Amino acid sequence: MDNLEEMKKGISYCVEEMADAWSKIIGLAVIPYELEYMKEIALFDYLFFCFDTDDSLSQTPYYYAGQKFKTTEQQTAYKRSGEKYDGEFFSLDDNLKSKIDDSLDKIAAIHILQNKQAECEKHEYVKFKYKTQGKQKYHFDTLIVTEWVGSGSLQMLKMLYGNKEAMRVSTAGKRKKGDYGLVDAYKNFDKLLSRIQKNDYPTAAEYVTACCALYKLEYTYRFIMFAEIAKVMNKYQFSLSTKIPDLFEVVIDRFPLSESLKYSPIVMDYRYIINLGFIYDSDDKEKADIINTRFMMIRMIIKYAMNMFRGLHKDKPEWTTEFFGEVADFMYNDCCVTKAFKKLNLNMCKKSGKNNCYDYIRMLYTNSPLIDTKILETGRKEYKEKLDEFEREKESKKIKNNKTKNNTNCINPES
């Protein structure tokens, strides 16, 4: 099924069927606007699933740096023509290639940690294939995240795993300012969010890839959600030792709807979840339970509608230029998930007391039940060890290549 309109109709039918069934089971009626909201989420989730599991959406770093986001079929056609890449001449961007090569080790190490965490939680990520010789193909979303890391747009990943202390830059200037590097990190992150909000991308394929990559980053690391929680905590100057509401522990799930037995919050749910957690969790238990039950029902309707649709339609769409265009139009104009990717503007939040937003963000990542600190610290150690291992492999290969070159020169001294 390659027609997006047909997909919309099929998914809408499945959502309506599941909504009718679950509302009868739980005894709560589905509000009309919630039904439309669920249809948009279900369609996005299905498109994300199709995008994430399609091996044709991959390139080597070399071809990506010459002509981004060309499918396997487009790359094959280019090789046959010998001249043009989907009507455009191939032109290698050496600077981009260098950034990607420098960042691939970091991304590979992070993927290894994600896979270990996934095994603990009995989930699976699409396996990350890594080869130091640079001939391995990587999925579009891996390549764009690697580019973001190389350009400094995702400093939070490095701050989470690579710094001496999680979410801290230890330079004297940053310590004096009191933000430990998070101001700059979130400013750069805001630039990513702003580009998605404006669809500031040259092609539909790049826009869709950016949306899917950011969605995956967010359900894994919750950069946006923790910033939104920090805004509320800063406004009311909660103590850094405040007990995080139990509700957050239920809804914080690292994996997307289609892969999880729990229900995972989407970005546009965050304010709702935060208000529910801080306002109703302790003050009005009965009301909190009712709202929480409705929230769970919505998530279960989406999950089972997705399963129903995927059971009826085994064939996934082909990602042609036209289909990318249709999906990009949906994500930009009609999708509540991607519309919620908006600038956080943490630098605009005034410090209203002893603590600021960045103090709360560090607390949430390093001293709250929302993050398993034991797993984080183990991951930080393994990340550094893996980077050292990759560096040793590269150095060994360099020495081996130099020896081969020297031997060749000895055999052919005139060459």
Percent of the chain whose predicted confidence (pLDDT) is above 90: 27
Q: Is residue 341 a contact partner of residue 214, using CB atoms and an 8 Å limit?
A: yes
Residue 10 burial by CB count (10 A; 0-12/13-18/19+): exposed, middle or buried? middle
Residue 103: pLDDT band (50, 70, 90) is confident
Q: How far apart are CA 402 and CA 386, in angstroms?
A: 24
Q: Tell me the pTM.
A: 0.85
Is the alpha carbon torsion for 270, 271, 275, 276 positive or negative? Answer: negative
So what's the pLDDT on residue 210? 96
Q: Determine phi and psi for 31, rounding to 5 degrees.
A: -75, 140
Enumerate the domain spans of the chain.
53-259+309-401
pLDDT by residue (tens digit) across 274-296? 877 776 655 566 766 777 777 77
Query: What is the Cα–Cα distance from 182 to 344, expressed in whole angstroms?
Result: 13
State what percent of residues in the chain have pLDDT above 70: 77
Q: Which DSSP symbol is given to 279?
A: I
pLDDT tens string 152-161: 899 888 888 8
* Spatial distance between the Cα atoms of 105 and 115, rounded to a whole number of angstroms: 15
- Nearest Cα to 230, choosing from 52, 365, 394, 413? 365
pLDDT for position 343: 94
Per-residue model confidence (pLDDT) at position 415: 46
**How many CA atoms lie less than 13 Å away from 111 in the CB half-sphere?**
19
125's tokens = 């990520």
| 377 pLDDT above the threshold of 90 | no
Residue 265 has pLDDT above 90, yes or no: no
Using alpha carbons, list the distances in angstroms from residue 398 to 388, 391, 402: 15, 11, 6
Which residue has tokens 């908006």? 342
